[in-house]
């Protein structure tokens, strides 16, 4: 019976999540129940020590700081200014408005890393404009949803912080390893939009010449400089300090939080009401993440205490799976799980189970972490529970149907899978930078 308990624990948890129970309380509640069954009252002596170890983890302080940075930048109006400037810069190009959305999505990802805020902001600002300019609803919605998810892989990404903590890998190395894959996604997104615009010009017309001419007359270079300079300074301050070895990710997150506040002041958007709203939202998001983390810690303690990791490891090793086959199975499992549960649940449930097996097989956990981060990015786009789809539908005009969004994101999911496959086939795409600058 003891050997069946870990499997029963996993199945019970998965079933309750599929039924829609909140992940934070489900993780903790199921773990407490099986902990009592497996260990009796002694379980309550083990759990507080494990939770205390999580709550005193210095690396995880970066999570609320990066969340604060992202929410504060959302309030600064920086995204609005960036979008307007980029749209006019690329206005002459067919598909230029869509290209500008991708570039702004990448810059916001490197500045904030919060998917929901990016998708909602770009959906409110650019979707009505794209539809008004005659863009195809599928191209417009797909581009906005996909660009918003770039914050999942382009550092500073909260999911990379969490993965680094779980895999016991340097968060700075995770950030460096994600740069080439993130840049490849941006390049391929833009290439797809331009190709589609050439093949089907009616789907993405250029902006009217009158608007472009007016933009050139109104202090164009000053506007471009101000729109790009401020987010660029913040990105360099945060990522540059990590890559140069000047600051740890946690210290750099504090620099980012202060920098975002100063940018909001410069934009004359700062007030005590704004600060209160940012702090409340940061507290809500941080509480959600850490409540799930505490539940996941309880789950990990029970699963390992019931020797679930040993049973699973023995099962995989006895089945004579080679590391590449096991990696392929995990990637398929994570991708399919992304259709039904969100990235935080996958991160805290699946990753702690498979990480020891990868370590025993001698697989580089930094490489695994980047692959998992890229794979988890697709969970924001895959229906029916892709969060980017929900965010965008919530702010889209009534003329945009769910079918438009679902059809629009298909090419971008394919691009994400192509880049994921490339990093699997050529690990140096993720490992070259950390091996030369980090470690």
DSSP symbols for 328-339: HHHHHHHHHHTT
Determine the Cα–Cα distance for residues 1 and 420; give it in Å rounded to an integer.
40
- pLDDT value at residue 203: 79
pLDDT tens figures, 321-380: 788 888 988 898 888 877 766 677 778 778 888 888 888 888 889 999 999 999 988 888
Residue ranges of domains in the chain: 22-437
Q: Of 311, 396, 404, whose CA–CA distance to 353 is shortest?
A: 311
Cβ within 8 Å of residue 254, ≥6 positions away: 65
Q: Of 341, 240, 361, 250, whose CA–CA distance to 296 is shortest?
A: 341
- pLDDT value at residue 309: 60
Token pair, residue 330, equals 């995990």
**How would DSSP label each residue in 342-392?**
-HHHHHHHTHHHHHHHHHHHT--HHHHHHHHHHHHHHTTTSSSS-HHHHHH
Q: Of 29, 27, 208, whose CA–CA distance to 134 is shortest?
A: 208
- pLDDT value at residue 399: 82
Determine the Cα–Cα distance for residues 284 and 24; give it in Å rounded to an integer.
13
- pLDDT value at residue 18: 66
- pLDDT value at residue 370: 93
Low-confidence ranges of the chain (pLDDT < 70): 1-3, 17-18, 20, 23-24, 43, 46, 54, 59, 77-80, 83-84, 87-88, 90-92, 111-117, 121, 207-228, 307-320, 340-342, 384-385, 387, 395, 438-439
Determine the Cα–Cα distance for residues 273 and 15; give it in Å rounded to an integer.
42
Where in 99-165 does DSSP place strands (E)? none
- pLDDT value at residue 129: 75
Cβ within 8 Å of residue 267, ≥6 positions away: 76, 77, 78, 81
Check if the beta carbon of residue 154 is closer than 8 Å to that of residue 343.
no
Q: Is 439 helix (H, G, I), strand (E, B) or coil?
A: coil
Q: Of 88, 180, 192, 178, whose CA–CA distance to 147 is shortest?
A: 192
pLDDT tens figures, 232-271: 777 777 777 777 777 777 788 888 888 888 888 887 888 8
pTM reported for the whole predicted model: 0.75
- pLDDT value at residue 19: 74
Check if the beta carbon of residue 26 is closer than 8 Å to that of residue 348.
no
């Amino acid at each position: 019976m003891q050997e069946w308990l870990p499997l029963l624990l996993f199945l019970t948890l998965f079933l309750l999540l599929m039924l829609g129970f909140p992940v934070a309380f489900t993780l903790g509640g199921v773990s407490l129940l099986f902990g009592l069954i497996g260990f009796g009252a002694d379980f309550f002596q083990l759990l507080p020590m494990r939770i205390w170890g999580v709550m005193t983890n210095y690396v995880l302080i970066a999570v609320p700081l990066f969340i604060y940075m992202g929410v504060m930048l959302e309030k600064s109006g920086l995204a609005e200014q960036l979008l307007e400037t980029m749209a006019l810069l690329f206005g002459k190009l067919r598909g230029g408005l869509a290209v500008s959305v991708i570039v702004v999505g990448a810059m916001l990802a490197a500045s904030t890393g919060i998917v929901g805020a990016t998708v909602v902001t770009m959906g409110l600002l650019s979707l009505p404009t794209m539809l008004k300019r005659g863009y195809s609803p599928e191209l417009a919605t797909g581009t906005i949803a996909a660009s918003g998810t770039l914050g999942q892989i382009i550092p500073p990404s909260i999911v990379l912080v969490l993965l680094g903590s779980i895999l016991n890998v340097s968060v700075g190395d995770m950030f460096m390893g994600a740069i080439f894959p993130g840049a490849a996604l941006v390049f391929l997104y833009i290439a797809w939009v331009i190709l589609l615009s050439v093949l089907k010009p009616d789907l993405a017309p250029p902006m009217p010449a009158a608007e472009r001419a007016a933009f050139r007359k109104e202090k164009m270079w000053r506007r471009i400089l101000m729109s790009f300079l401020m987010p660029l300074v913040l990105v360099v301050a945060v990522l540059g300090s990590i890559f140069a070895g000047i600051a740890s990710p946690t210290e750099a997150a504090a620099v980012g939080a202060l920098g975002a506040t100063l940018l909001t002041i410069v934009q004359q958007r700062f007030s005590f009401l704004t600060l209160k709203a940012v702090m409340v939202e940061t507290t809500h998001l941080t509480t959600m993440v850490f409540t799930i983390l505490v539940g996941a810690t309880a789950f990990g303690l029970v699963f390992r205490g019931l020797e679930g990791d040993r049973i699973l490891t023995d099962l995989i090793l006895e089945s004579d799976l080679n590391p590449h086959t096991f990696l392929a199975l995990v990637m398929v499992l994570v991708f399919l799980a992304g259709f039904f549960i969100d990235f935080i649940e996958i991160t805290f449930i699946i990753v702690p189970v498979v990480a020891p097996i990868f370590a025993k097989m001698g697989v580089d956990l930094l490489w695994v972490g980047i692959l998992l981060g890229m794979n988890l990015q697709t969970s924001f786009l895959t229906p029916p529970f892709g969060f980017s789809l929900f965010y965008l539908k919530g702010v889209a005009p009534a003329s945009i149907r769910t079918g438009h969004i679902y059809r629009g994101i298909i090419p971008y999911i394919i691009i994400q899978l192509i880049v994921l496959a490339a990093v699997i086939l050529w690990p140096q795409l993720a490992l070259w930078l950390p091996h030369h600058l980090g470690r």
